[in-house]
Amino acid sequence: MLCHPTLPPIFSQSPSLFQSNPMVVVYSKKNDGALEEIGRTEVILNSLNPSWNAKINLQYQFEVLQQLVFQIYDIDPQFHDVSEKMLKLEEQQFLGEAICLLSDVVTKQNRLLNIKLGVSEHNLPNPSKFGELTVQADESAGSKALMEMVFRCSDLEIKDLLSKSDPFLLISRISENGMPVPICKTEVRKNDLNPKWKPVILNLQQIGSKENPLVIECFNFSSNGKHDLVGKIVKSVAELENMYHSQNGENFFVPANTAHDCHSKEVLKSQVYVEKYFENNRHTFLDYISAGCQLNLMVAIDYTASNGNPRLPDSLHYIDPNGRPNAYQRVILEFGDILQYYDPAKRFPSWGYGARPIDGPVSHCFNLNGSAYQPEVEGIQGIMSAYISALRNVSLAGPTLFGPLISTATAIASQSLISNQQKYFILLIVTDGVVTDFQETIDAIIKASDFPLSIVVVGVGGADFKEMEFLDPNKGERLESSTGRVASRDVIQFAPMKDVHGAGISIVQSLLAEIPGQFMTYMRTRETQAIS
């Protein structure tokens, strides 16, 4: 699940400019370095301390590093009758530039960040004289709205007559490049051609606007993870609300099997209905973050022998002398680049598993830093250094066990809760193979669901990870402990790195996109318990 509030920055500047008529132009910096203009403030006349009232709207995406560039221009008086949008910037005097990440702003108390102005490529003298820019971010009132919906279907058409009808819904938003990004899934309904699912809760943070289209797909569950598409619709939340009020169903469609027209579709008799639609306002993910709640990354790395000899180039643990990161390093860097901004201390518990430390038995949860007492390392680079150091000090062994790792992470989350710390933990487990302690892992996952913890498992290398689908309740059967207990909420995701979701959307981004939703489900559960 994704968070997408609309943020209206308000800018102010300290008294270091000569008398001027300043205007701010706000850009989003893309991965390729290109700048995309997203808004301009009004022009403030004859001011050394301008405070702009303009609201620049943009979508917050938790799973993406959103770099913002603010450029300030002095507008020539001859253009004061020209609207800001029509001004040619090359005809104005550049005064300074400030750069930050959107996550830098939203994680600050009151969502207010001061940034030193510089000159970047504009090559102007005395950059220290260009002052300071203050950026404040606020969520629009509408972004706090929660929509609760109940979906049902009628007359589902299952093409494979040999398979049962075990349908579930997958709801996705459309990304900027047109690719669907999953934000919500229903449970699987067993052997049901007319299913009705439990309520689905969406937040405007996830979708940006009630008018933005959503892709709602119905799949027939398969235990091998290759679920068959039954049909889909494309509707905005506003249209779904209208479907509820009219009580009219919408026919599913599937892409037509034709090589001549990739846009043609086959309309089915199967229909989907919105049986319930309800809106209310609650605290959002960013409300908790700006109030001081931190996200703490934990990392666990697979040191089993199946990774291969780390000294050889074909090993998944091979450290390239030219600095090219291996699969483990890439996953850690991608996760760390996003999550580190939500943890001011940047001290990350880091473990290895499946190896034999010097003169010791095989350990399924050892501290990467070599300490016998505490597992934390300093910063993302600290994780990378400890990872490489451990490769020199342990012997790769096996088997692959997750139970001890998850139990250790849960104990830390539990202690944090007892101490009334405002922390939520994300345990990243990177593995090259299938776990062997299936039931112990399930028991640990179900216990973890009661605590402020999410678990993300990423498979690296060329192994067949089909048997790992059981870890993700969105892809496999409902998890049940050895005592018959089920998880209190969805807490774990799994994906192999070799899977792709389309251009511009990495596996890491698709996994991170669900963290805010899991966070909010935990917070709502805690609020409900407090009320009861």
| DSSP reduced 3-state for 234 | strand
Mean pLDDT per 10-residue interval, the chain, length 532 residues: 35 54 93 91 89 88 92 91 92 92 91 82 51 86 81 84 78 82 84 91 80 92 79 94 95 74 78 93 87 96 96 96 94 96 96 90 95 94 97 94 97 95 97 93 95 96 83 67 88 79 66 90 74 42
Task: Report the DSSP beta bridge partners of residue 295.
Answer: 424
Is 16 domain-assigned?
no
Is 343 domain-assigned?
yes
User: 347 and 235, same structural domain?
Assistant: no
Is 157 domain-assigned?
yes
User: 342 and 487, same structural domain?
Assistant: yes
User: 412 and 358, same structural domain?
Assistant: yes
User: 121 and 56, same structural domain?
Assistant: yes
Domain boundary among 241, 258, 280: 280
User: 413 and 290, same structural domain?
Assistant: yes
At residue 477, the pLDDT reads 62
**Is 475 within 8 Å of 467 (Cβ atoms)?**
no
At residue 245, the pLDDT reads 95
Q: How many CB atoms lie within 10 A of CB 230?
A: 23
Cα 47 to Cα 65: distance, rounded to the nearest angstrom = 33
User: 317 and 273, same structural domain?
Assistant: no
At residue 177, the pLDDT reads 74
Total domain count, the chain: 3
Q: Which of 215, 209, 217, 214 is nearest to 186 (CA)?
A: 217
CA atoms within 13 A on the CB side of 451: 27
Is 12 domain-assigned?
no
Q: What is the CATH number of the domain that holds 431?
A: 3.40.50.410
Is 98 domain-assigned?
yes
Q: What is the CATH number of the domain that holds 67?
A: 2.60.40
Is 125 domain-assigned?
yes
**H or E segment and range at residue 116:** strand 112-116
Which amino acid, one-letter code, is at 447? K
DSSP 9-78: -EEEE-S-SPS--EEEEEEEEPTTS-EEEEEE-PPPPS-SS-B-------B--TTS--EEEEEEEEPPGG
Angle, to 10 degrees, between the axis of helix 379-393 and the axis of helix 327-339?
150
Q: Which of 61, 17, 10 is nearest to 39 (CA)?
A: 10
At residue 452, the pLDDT reads 97
Is 9 domain-assigned?
no
User: 250 and 191, same structural domain?
Assistant: yes
3-state secondary structure 403-419: HHHHHHHHHHHHHHHHC
3-state secondary structure 118-156: ECHHHCCCCHHHHCEEEEECCCCHHHHEEEEEEEEEECC
Domain boundary among 280, 304, 334: 280
Cα 532 to Cα 527: distance, rounded to the nearest angstrom = 9
Mention every residue, 6+ apart, whose C-beta is less than 8 A from residue 216.
151, 169, 170, 171, 232, 233, 234, 235, 272
User: 88 and 52, same structural domain?
Assistant: yes
User: 473 and 404, same structural domain?
Assistant: yes
User: 166 and 35, same structural domain?
Assistant: no
The reported pTM is 0.80
**Is 193 within 8 Å of 158 (Cβ atoms)?**
yes
User: 400 and 295, same structural domain?
Assistant: yes
At residue 232, the pLDDT reads 94
| DSSP reduced 3-state for 102 | helix
Domain boundary among 118, 139, 160: 139
User: 461 and 473, same structural domain?
Assistant: yes
Q: Where are the alpha helices (DSSP H) in 283-399?
A: 285-290, 327-339, 379-393
Instruction: List C-alpha distances in Å: 232 to 4, 172, 181, 272.
Output: 23, 11, 15, 9
Range of the domain at 263: 143-280
- Burial class from Cβ neighbours inside 10 Å (0-12, 13-18, 19+) for residue 6 reads buried
Cα 368 to Cα 383: distance, rounded to the nearest angstrom = 8
**Is 504 within 8 Å of 179 (Cβ atoms)?**
yes
At residue 233, the pLDDT reads 95
Mention every residue, 6+ apart, whose C-beta is less than 8 A from residue 166.
188, 189, 190, 191, 192, 220, 221
DSSP 152-190: EEES---S-TTS---EEEEEEEE-TTS-EEEEEE-PPPT
At residue 183, the pLDDT reads 82
Is 6 domain-assigned?
no
Separation of CA 190 from chain center: 29
Q: What is the CATH number of the domain that holds 220?
A: 2.60.40.150
Dihedral class, residue 362 (left if φ above 0, else alpha if ψ from -120 to 50, else beta): beta
Place of tokens 């709602």: 216
- Burial class from Cβ neighbours inside 10 Å (0-12, 13-18, 19+) for residue 16 reads middle
Q: Which of 59, 138, 140, 65 is nearest to 100 (CA)?
A: 65
Q: Which of 340, 293, 341 is nearest to 113 (CA)?
A: 341
